[in-house]
Chains A and B, each alone.
Chain A
Amino acid sequence: MKRAIITVVGKDTVGIIAKVCTYLSEANVNVLDISQTIVGGYFNMMMIVDVSAAGIEFSTLSDELSEVGKGIGCVIRIQLEDIFDMMHRI
């Protein structure tokens, strides 16, 4: 399993999760966990996903997700989980 973290931040609107999940499903990326809050009208979502079966390169996934984000007024990042593990776990 190759886990990555997706963060979505932006102004809340209808269909953010739907758009992101539709894209992930088309890219064959499995969602393992989602948590989401809205603070002061701002949408903030964190997803843990498995990219090991994704049909495309990680860099393409990253570029396309940020394009999806632009379409819905959000900033979407995907990062391999290792960077957080390294920084916060000994």
Chain B
Amino acid sequence: MISRLEIQETNSMIEKMNLDVRTITLGISLLDCIDSDLNRLNEKIYEKITRLAGNLVATGEEIAKEYGIPVVNKRISVTPIGLIGASACKCEDDFVSIAKTLDKAGKAVGINFIGGYSALVSKGMTRSEELLLRSIPKALAETDVVCSSVNVGSTRTGINMDAVRLMGQVIRQTAEKTASLDSIGCAKLVVFCNAPDDNPFMAGAFHGVTEADAVINVGVSGPGVVKKALEQARGKDFEFLCETIKKTAFKITRVGQLVAKRASEMLNVPFGIVDLSLAPTPAIGDSVAEILQEIGLEHPGAPGTTAALALLNDQVKKGGIMASSYVGGLSGAFIPVSEDQGMIDAVLAGCLTLEKLEAMTCVCSVGLDMIAIPGDTSAETLSGIIADEMAIGMINQKTTAVRLIPVIGKTVGDRAEFGGLLGYAPIMPVNGFGCADFINRKGRIPAPVHSFKN
């Protein structure tokens, strides 16, 4: 029999510590929609998404009622459009028409975001994939709920530097096209190395080609719960600290597993994975930075941050893996800047720099995320930052990502406002020394050796 204390513990996690199910993401394969006629392709995509996802939002809300836990986002991911549009799209605008179809279908079913305006080009780009990449600025400027991601490298293939160079330009153009809204288009665009096929989190979600026709992936979150639990670990040794994180991660993930199974049952769609990530929001007490502070740092960015984050990330995985039958996606601690009040404070205090964030990405689950930088940052510099981050992922056999926002018309000392879950961000300085000759080389960085590890 469940005890009063256990009930109180669960409910205070939900009420006071922001425990929530961050997203139920329905992955939909569009492979069977492929058609050489663009209009027919768009019709089939719209029909399939609205048919499969028609009940997604209502289901999410019903589950929230049943268990008394908020289900914050309901989202869709689709097969990378670079593949789906390959035979029908002859120009950039053809791809943009698919983005608009995704936007329309997403709005029709009431979801928050639809991901998969994507291309997987880790070794080379087809002509149509290059068209998709070049269409991203317009696609993101002319849609509201569409998210885009591009995988430009992997441990197995190396890094496609032609794609890295192009993505520097694409990010700049996306920023310029959405300049009036603090370049918010870039918040919906991620560049990946080793992108997972089953990630439920935006903006990087897409439905990989290795996946079934439709699948339910769930992302749970609860940095506030971990932070609160760690208050009991003040002054205690590392064993106690790690055990506390593990136990808490276990409890949080169990809720994700329950919700994923229930959603799968209600929608009659197979359960894919639970993503264990600690995803912060701008809300007070929903911060990964505050966990790092509770571990013992004055601010994230102080010496010791990388070690503390490595410990946190690993314990979250250890606790979560046993709690769910299938774990996948990104699974770890997210360290976005604009979405985490503690990270923003660390930047404002002068403690956290882009370079330290880069070091932190070596041991956490994603990468340079939601970082606002000066609007006059050149495309080559953006590509240089992307290349560095991709190299970390390639060599360390992990997913890394870059979601940078060059905020047009703003510079260090200013502030970019994105609103809602995306939050706000102080503009961070970028190393201004040149890397153009490096970035302008053609071709790719070869795949790394998989032995002789040091």
Contacts and interface: CB of A to CB of B under 8 A. Distances in A.
Contact of A81 (B2, B9, B65, B255): B2
Interface string A58-90: 110010000000000000011111111111100
Nearest to B69: A83
Contacts of A59: 61-62, 65-66
A46 B254 contact: no
A87 B11 contact: no
B252 to A, nearest CB: 8
Given A58-B65, A77-B11, A79-B67, A86 B4 contact: no
A1 to B, nearest CB: 14
Nearest to B68: A79
B148 interface: no
A85 B68 CA distance: 14
A60 B67 CA distance: 14
B8 to A, nearest CB: 8
A7 interface: yes
Nearest to A3: B2
Interface residues of B, number: 20
A88 B10 contact: yes
Given A5-B7, A7-B7, A87-B10, A58 B68 contact: no
Residue among A7, A81, A83 having the largest count of chain B Cβ atoms under 10 Å? A83
Contacts of A62: 65, 68
A57 B255 CA distance: 22
B214 to A, nearest CB: 24
A55 to B, nearest CB: 17
B324 to A, nearest CB: 10
Nearest to B254: A86
A83 B255 contact: yes
A37 to B, nearest CB: 8
B66 A86 contact: no
A84 B65 CA distance: 15
Nearest to B5: A88
A86 B258 contact: yes
Contacts of B11: 7, 77
A87 B14 CA distance: 12
B257 interface: yes
B254 A87 contact: yes
B402 to A, nearest CB: 35
Contacts of B258: 82-83, 86
A30 B61 CA distance: 25
Contacts of A84: 2, 6-7, 10
A36 to B, nearest CB: 10
B11 to A, nearest CB: 6
A33 B2 CA distance: 11
B2 A5 contact: yes
B65 A88 contact: no
Interface in B1-32: 1-2, 4, 6-7, 9-11
A80 B66 CA distance: 6
B10 A82 contact: no
B255 A87 contact: yes
A88 B6 contact: yes
Given A5-B7, A7-B11, A77-B11, A85 B2 contact: yes
Residue among B2, B62, B251 having the largest count of chain A Cβ atoms under 10 Å? B2
B253 to A, nearest CB: 10
A78 B254 CA distance: 19
Contacts of A82: 67, 258
A18 B254 CA distance: 35
24 contacts: A5-B2, A7-B7, A35-B4, A46-B4, A46-B7, A58-B62, A58-B65, A59-B61, A59-B62, A59-B65, A78-B68, A81-B2, A82-B67, A82-B258, A83-B255, A84-B6, A84-B10, A85-B2, A86-B254, A86-B258, A87-B10, A87-B251, A87-B255, A88-B251
Interface of B: 1-2, 4, 6-7, 9-11, 61-62, 65-69, 251, 254-255, 257-258
Given A58-B66, A77-B11, A88-B251, 10 more contacts: A7-B11, A46-B4, A58-B65, A59-B61, A79-B69, A84-B2, A85-B2, A87-B6, A87-B255, A88-B9
10 shortest interchain CB distances as A-B pairs: A79-B68, A83-B67, A59-B65, A86-B254, A84-B2, A86-B258, A88-B6, A87-B251, A80-B66, A87-B254
